[in-house]
Structures are given as structure tokens and as C-alpha cells.
Amino acid sequence: MEIKIMKNVLDRNQNKANEIRTLLQEKKVLMVNLISSPGAGKTTLLDKTIENLRNKFRIGVIEGDITTDRDAQRLKKHDIPIVVINTEGGCHLDSHSISKALPEFDLKNLDVLFVENVGNLVCPSHFDLGESFKLALVSTTEGDDKPIKYPMLFREAKVIILNKTDLIQYTNFNMKNFLKDLNNVNGKVTLFEVSCTQNTNMEQWYNWISSQINSK
């Protein structure tokens, strides 16, 4: 019975996600569903990316958090539209909460909408938000075994950013093992190896996301 109910929840989520996807295609808005463990660097990635792209594109952000608006506060300085969704204990965003947030944006005047999901490597992977694609962020300090231990997100993502490469030298992260496992889970994924705080290799990511926005 639990399984059936979970299926109903996912079916309803999928229907709403399909509606959102159609709407955003009409309005020519790229939506990126950003997923990672807590503290992998989602907000820092957005901070740097917005800083770099804000003169080229019209950007919006949905901040998913269990409680608090701390991440939104960190992005406030960019003076772009930001909507906070507090899940009040919930472990992921779903398409219904996105649907309620979208009317807060002037979609006709938006090029890209970044959705920062709740910090969780598991549950957000199961819920389609109507996004254009999922972006998985993983940091070197979490260890090299995340793709094989949490395969669903890494299988679903169109692009993966490996963050905190500046800290590799202080950890036992093994790049060869990481790439080998990742290749087993998703051999076709696009990967960027960066340090957001040190601005290392960020240009490649900015170019890639710009091309995605331009080709939407």
C-alpha cells in the first residue's frame, strides 16, 4: 500500500512537472535543478555564476530550504528576483511548490531560473520539477565514492560539477577512482572540475551554461 501511495505522489508530481516544462518552454526560460549534499557549495556556485552572467542574461533563483532564508540572504546583493521555498522539514522540493513559486517571476523577462534544491543527495533525485536538466554538485571533501554510493542523481544529471578541487591535496580523494565510478554510473555526463571559492576552471562552466541558455 505504501508503494502504491508513493506512486500516486510521484504521478501527481510528474503531471505538474510536465505542465511547468511546457510553460517554461513557451516562455523560453531555462530551468536548472541544482542538487547536492548539504555544504557542497550550491549557494557559492550560484553566487559566482550570477556574478558572471548577470550582464548577459536575466536570471532568477528559487531557494529551497528546510527552514531559514540564509541562502537567499547570501544572493540578495545581486538584485535579481529570488523566491524562498521553506519545506518545513521536507527533504526535497516538488513540482507543486515550484508551481506556486513561478507566478512570483516575470517569466517573459527571464532567461534562466536556477532552483537550489534542499541539501540532500537522495530524495530530490526522485522528483521532477519540470526543469530543463538536473545539475549535480559534489565536492572533493565528501570523498571519491559518491557516484557509486548515490547513483540515482549522478545517473539523472546532465552535468556534474566537482567542487573544492583546491582541497584535494588535503584529503584522500582519488580522482582516478572518482572518474572510474562516475563512468560506470553515467558515461555520457558533462563534468567540470572547479573550485568556486578560488575561481578555478570556472570559465569553462560559465561558457557551457551560457551556451545552454542561448540554445534554449
Residues of the shown chain interacting with a second copy in the complex, contacts defined by CB under 8 A: 2, 5, 9, 37-40, 65-68, 70, 89, 91, 118-123, 126, 139, 141-143, 145-146, 148-152, 164, 166-167, 170-172, 197
- Dmax over Cα atoms in the chain, in whole Å? 51
CB of 190 to a second copy, least distance (A): 22
Closer residue to a second copy (CB): 107 or 167: 167
Closer residue to a second copy (CB): 125 or 212: 125
Closer residue to a second copy (CB): 141 or 210: 141
Query: How, if at all, do strands 82-86 and 112-116 pair?
Result: unpaired
Neighbours of 92 (CB within 10 A): 19
Roughly what angle, to the nearest 10 degrees, separates helices 42-53 and 202-214? 70
Closer residue to a second copy (CB): 71 or 131: 71
CB of 111 to a second copy, least distance (A): 29
CB 162 within 8 A of CB 192: yes
CB 64 within 8 A of CB 96: no
CA-CA distance, 91 to 71, in Å (whole number)? 16
CB of 16 to a second copy, least distance (A): 15
CB of 13 to a second copy, least distance (A): 12
